[in-house]
């Protein structure tokens, strides 16, 4: 029974680490995306570049 509790405690620690890592990634993505979105909404040139980059990034996983 002790091994079960140890496994559950370790699972909780790993879950907490995963949540922190995911939250950091989401925060970084939002911090980059919001200013870029505002900038792209005001400039056609920036919007074109951002859309091209987003299309490229979405295509690469499909090629792998």
| The model scores a pTM over 0.85 | no
Largest CA-CA distance found in the chain, in angstroms, rounded: 63
pLDDT tens digits, one per residue of 19-61? 999 999 999 999 999 999 999 999 999 999 999 999 998 888 7
Q: What is the pLDDT of residue 35?
A: 96
Q: What is the dihedral of CA 51, 56, 57, 58, to 10 degrees?
A: 90
Distance CA 37, CA 19 (A): 26
- The band of 64, judged by pLDDT with boundaries at 50, 70 and 90, is low
Q: How many residues does the chain have?
A: 64
């Amino acid at each position: 029974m002790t091994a079960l509790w140890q496994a559950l405690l370790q699972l909780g620690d790993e879950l907490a680490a995963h949540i922190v890592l995911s939250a950091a990634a989401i925060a970084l993505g939002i911090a980059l995306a919001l200013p870029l979105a505002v900038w792209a909404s005001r400039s056609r040139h920036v919007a074109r570049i951002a859309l091209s980059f987003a299309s490229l990034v979405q295509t690469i996983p499909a090629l792998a």
